[in-house]
A and B are shown apart, each in its own frame.
Chain A
Amino acid sequence: MTHPADTALPVSEAVALKVQYQTRQRNWRGQLSTTTVRAVDGIDLAIRSGEAVALVGESGCGKSTLGRALLRLEHVSEGAVHFAGSDLTGLGEPMLRPLRRNMQMVFQDPFSSLNPRMRIGETLAEPLLVHGLASKAEARARVAEILEIVGLDPAVATRHPHAFSGGQRQRIAIARAVIARPKFVVADEPISALDISVQAQILDLFEDLKERFALTYLFISHDLAVVRHIADRVAVMYLGRIVEEGSPESVFDNPLHPYTQALLAAVPSPDPVRERSRPAATLQGEPPSPAATISGCRFRGRCAHAMPICETSDPALATGGDGKQAVACFLHHEQSF
């Protein structure tokens, strides 16, 4: 999406990014065949300072891979990843390590993202100590401070992760991500493993931290209601590609891409009257495998509006509709072209 008014350098940026995995298999005759899984297949995304960008899409569409690739926790097959103006694409881990204090991650499952053998205090102090940002005594004070900010008793620093519930663990994982005051945080479905009652508290914590630390973050989710609540901008991902992008209002109230429309139609309404009139599943079938080679538009197999052009060419993400959102669909390209 192009914002002519925006001149500030994005904090994190993907440029024509592709992340692919090669799997080699032998068939029954012993012949070697290579399958390429295109988890991220040509994405341009710029996240500007202070922005909360939400990335939504089905399971397996490459959301998590994109999030990790922005932090260079994945290899880059093609394209580039920039962070605060520097190019991370070709950097090896030793070169990335000092940069990591400025970009952090919150994982989906708080039961596996904390080292069971380390005390909470050690886990939280680690970003400070590893990057030489504080002495041990200072780190202890910072740990107590951050525990209080995320709503936990500072006394828990001496305990191990097994003593905590999922919601408490996620607070600890979030505290680890923000303790070194990073410029950018990727939150990979940080609430989907939690109880419904706890989800809202964690979302409030994100809101609070965003204000307190002027955080910039990418919030990966498959829950559209959540995204609407916290995001400044929404990107909808389908099979390794962003198919629609814009403000939450424009994307949710006026979805342009048939896939976004189908996603929104699938959200149950809390109002029973509206829920009854909600159309039944509008999306048929499964998304194709990211290992399959698709010509033309990758959504056309499930799209109700597929046209002849969709079979031959691949729609690019371009401004459509009222000009406030970008969409990768020929239905809308005609209007704006």
Chain B
Amino acid sequence: MSALSSRFLLRNSVGIIGATIILTAVAIAVFAPLIAPVTASQIDLRARLAPPFFVDGGSIKHLMGTDNLGRDIFSRLIYGSRISLAVGTAAALLGAVIGSLMGILAGYFGGKVDGVISWFVDVQLAFPFTLLAIFLLGTLGGGFYAVVIVLALATWVNYARVVRAQVLTVKVQDYVLAARAVGVGTPRTLWRYIFANSTAPIIVVASFSTAQAILTQAALSFLGVGIDPSIPSWGAMLNDGRDYLQKAWWIATFPGLAIALTVLGVNLFGDWLRDRLDPRSAR
């Protein structure tokens, strides 16, 4: 390996590890039918609560054991990545778009605009989210898109508050006044000056919002609103395993590990991306 590429690997190791985890998870989701030994919903009541292969009584047939209905955990984990990743990413992105826009408008224009947006943020934070989600999903009906929208409603306030605070510090910088002195219009000022200098916290919030969305989606499935709980998702599996933690720890542990690992990957990648996007950091 040449000196240049090994230095590149060393310098970007955090980003490479994060990207590897994310890409692996995405590949698993895309090629689920090719990887999984059985389908996610295949029930085998005779093999109920079978332990993973490395525990006494386990077999190679069920690598990670089975759940209370005898479904293969390994296969469910692979199929479950589809819903979890899709919901997590879509909700975090939609929340980021809405929240950043609101945060920029509130921070930059201040006054009444800020008053109205901040009021919405406060109401949202004061209102129990689960109640809101049940109400919305109950009236809208469940399904993937409804869940994504409801989860975006849960996460946009995180972005809005952080971005608003960042914009308040950016907008008083001399370069923003310089843009006005040059004659730059408001939309361009908001995009090239205000937004461009407020991206660092957005990326940080996005990496934990993705995790939050994956977990909240699980909670919603557990409550019976949102995505059909028979469709496997990591969060739903986590909830299924809760009642069996004493008898069959593997039901909850493996999806828990999958969530933790994915969130770690997203966070590592987010950290690296934030540094990478900052022109001040060394190339």
Contact = CB atoms under 8 A, between A and B. Distances in A.
Same complex origin of A and B: yes
Interface of A: 71, 73, 93, 96-101, 104-105, 107-109, 112-118, 126-127, 130-131, 160, 162, 173, 176
Interface residues of B, number: 19
Contact of B280 (A98, A115, A116, A130): A116
Nearest to B199: A117
A131 B185 CA distance: 10
B183 A107 contact: no
A113 B174 contact: yes
Contact of A73 (B175, B181, B185, B192): B181
A90 to B, nearest CB: 18
B180 A73 contact: yes
B181 A97 contact: no
Nearest to B184: A130
B30 interface: no
A159 B180 CA distance: 23
B177 A73 contact: yes
Contact of A117 (B174, B182, B183, B192): B192
Nearest to B177: A73
B260 interface: no
A96 B182 CA distance: 11
B181 A71 contact: yes
B182 A127 contact: yes
A118 B175 CA distance: 11
B4 interface: no
Contacts of B177: 73, 107
Nearest to B181: A105
B175 A160 contact: no
Nearest to A159: B279
B184 A112 contact: no
A131 B279 CA distance: 27
Given A109-B174, A114-B178, A126-B184, 9 more contacts: A73-B177, A100-B180, A104-B181, A104-B182, A107-B177, A116-B279, A118-B192, A130-B183, A162-B280
Contact of A100 (B174, B183, B196): B183
Interface string B261-283: 00000000000000000011000
B249 interface: no
B11 interface: no
Contacts of A109: 174
B188 interface: yes
A68 to B, nearest CB: 8
A109 B175 CA distance: 10
B279 A162 contact: yes
Given A73-B177, A115-B175, A97 B197 contact: no
6 contacts: A100-B181, A101-B183, A113-B175, A115-B192, A126-B184, A127-B182
Contacts of A99: 183
Contacts of A117: 192-193, 196-197, 279
Contacts of B185: 97, 130
Interface in B224-283: 279-280
B62 to A, nearest CB: 52
A115 B197 contact: yes
Contacts of B192: 115, 117-118
B183 A115 contact: no
Contacts of B179: 115, 126
A98 B184 CA distance: 10
A97 B183 CA distance: 5
Nearest to A114: B175
Contacts of A115: 175, 178-179, 192-193, 196-197
Contact of B178 (A101, A113, A130): A113
B24 interface: no
B183 A131 contact: yes
Given A116-B279, A160-B279, A100 B197 contact: no
Contacts of A97: 183, 185
B59 interface: no
Contacts of B180: 73, 93, 100
B173 interface: yes
B173 to A, nearest CB: 6
Given A115-B197, A117-B279, A160-B280, A176 B174 contact: no
